[in-house]
Amino acid sequence: MTTEPEIRKGLAGVVVDYTAISKVNPETNSLLYRGYPVQELAASCSFEEVAYLLWNGELPNAEQLAAFAADERSQRSLDDAVKRVIDELPLTAHPMDVVRTAVSVIGALDPTWADASPEGNLTKSVSLFAKLPAIVAYDQRRRRGLDLVEPDAELGYSANFLAMTFGEVPSKVVVDAFDVSMILYAEHSFNASTFTARVVTSTLADLYSAVVAAIGALKGPLHGGANEAVMHIFDEIGSADRAEEWLDAALAEKRKIMGFGHRVYKNGDSRVPTMKAALDTLIVEYDAPELGELYTALDDAMQNRKAIKPNLDYPSGPAYRLIGFDTEMFTPLFVASRVTGWTAHIMEQLASNALIRPLSLYNGVPERHLE
Ligand code: ACO
């Protein structure tokens, strides 16, 4: 008698490859990028330095950082063809569809798209990293009937991103909190969107195809879409005093509470304390204590009822709301950050590629014949 192979739904617990990019340790509740705890990077480094680290394996020295920053700053503008395509998309399109389409157009316009050498892919990665803020900012502004703001090469990544979105550089507190969120979202081993990018790369398709596919995977509310969904929940609840009652009703309807739970971390997401601290600075900056109260009330109620801890999307959603982004722009912000991790994984996959092609167990009708 043959034994049936074990099926691991959702590949839960399956180890499919090595990675040297990040280490998630649920036991110690830690996340390392290239060996460095992400909390330390968020406290001491800029997002540009972290992007460089993810791609190159080491933090840049002053000279390397200056060269990298100059390169990134010189590539922030969008080609007119990309702007025209964005202009053609209706405002009913979700911003994730706009980002996905824009990246696809950038790929189609790049005559070097097929150059999959490490240098070629690094060049494309820096280009996407530099242009994604322009795509997200442009889409946010056109939804408000505002014109594109051109990038400012005098500004760092996050200050420029926010200036392109809101027309001016906000306070240092705001820029710093936003930069921290970008660092925390940048990389998280074999999550669904990164794995998607690696699957596409494993067929030897180009970097742009892999990133477009990853954006598709990130859109779902079980993954990146949760940061938006958190704010829909906050809006539904309204105020802290209604959190418990709302949660009981939602759980009775068997709803998943967005921003809570994680496939890997079962005792809390390692990134939450750092992002919550950044959110707290924004709550003070924008004098929005009621948002902090609602955050705490829903978290407390969730711990009492289900003991399921918040994930990074729980503090980042309210942070992006306070900074001034429309709710549907939150997942595109995640894209702007995670493109660094995705592209690092694309290059790592190619360095020792094997086609990713799992098996399945057939449970359809038994063999039958026409007649
Ligand atoms: N709300 C209510 N119940 C939950 C939640 C939640 N957010 N998360 C898990 N559970 C419950 C499940 O209902 C299940 O209960 P059961 O055993 O009684 O059926 C149990 O906890 C295990 O949950 P699974 O969904 O099987 O765990 P899995 O590892 O597959 O899911 C996931 C992880 C998808 C993140 C899940 O926790 C979830 O749907 N959370 C909400 C969406 C979310 O916040 N996603 C963001 C992920 S992190 C990121 O992208 C930065």
Residues 85 and 140 in one domain: yes
Residues 207 and 91 in one domain: yes
- 262, 269, 299, 345: the active-site residue: 262
Cα–Cα distance, 7 to 318 (Å, whole number): 38
Question: Is residue 64 in a domain?
Answer: no
If you average pLDDT over residues 198-204, what whole number do you get? Answer: 98
Residues 88 and 189 in one domain: yes
Residues 140 and 280 in one domain: no
- 223, 269, 299, 345: the active-site residue: 223
Residues 243 and 204 in one domain: no
Q: What burial letters (b/e) apply to 21-53, b meaning 16+ CB within 10 Å?
A: bbebebeebebbbbebbbbebbeebbbbbbbbb
Residues 338 and 202 in one domain: yes
Reply yes or no on whether the pLDDT at 55 is more than 90: yes
Residues 187 and 298 in one domain: no
Question: Is residue 52 in a domain?
Answer: no
Question: Is residue 158 in a domain?
Answer: yes
Residues 317 and 339 in one domain: no
Quote the crossing angle between the two packed helices 330-351 and 95-109, to the nearest 10°.
Answer: 40
Question: Is residue 11 in a domain?
Answer: no
- Ligand 1 atom with the smallest distance to the CA of 191 is 50
Cα–Cα distance, 17 to 36 (Å, whole number): 21
Structural domain count, the chain: 2
**Cα 123 to ligand 1 centroid, rounded to whole Å:** 37
Cα–Cα distance, 342 to 350 (Å, whole number): 12
Residue type, 161: F
Is-contact 87 135, C-beta < 8 A?
no
* 262 belongs to the catalytic site: yes
Question: Is residue 363 in a domain?
Answer: no
CATH of the domain at 287: 1.10.230.10
Question: Is residue 44 in a domain?
Answer: no
Residues 301 and 197 in one domain: no
Residues 344 and 303 in one domain: no
Reply yes or no on whether the pLDDT at 2 is more than 80: no
If you average pLDDT over residues 85-114, what whole number do you get? Answer: 98
Residues spanned by the domain of 241 = 226-322
Residue 371 has a pLDDT of 87
Over residues 204-242, the pLDDT tens digits come to 999 999 999 999 999 998 999 889 999 999 999 999 999
Place of tokens 């502004």: 141
Residue 263 has a pLDDT of 87
Question: Is residue 367 in a domain?
Answer: no
- Ligand 1 atom with the smallest distance to the CA of 256 is 1
**Cα 6 to ligand 1 centroid, rounded to whole Å:** 22
Residues 84 and 212 in one domain: yes
Q: Is the CB of 343 under 6 A from ligand 1?
A: no
Question: Is residue 202 in a domain?
Answer: yes
Q: Is the CB of 224 under 6 A from ligand 1?
A: yes
- Ligand 1 atom with the smallest distance to the CA of 264 is 29
The complex's ipTM works out to 0.96
Place of tokens 């829909």: 232
Token pair belonging to 66: 């200056």
Residues 173 and 263 in one domain: no
CATH of the domain at 185: 1.10.580.10
Residue 1 has a pLDDT of 66
* 79 belongs to the catalytic site: no
Over residues 147-194, the pLDDT tens digits come to 999 999 999 999 999 999 999 999 999 999 999 999 999 999 999 999
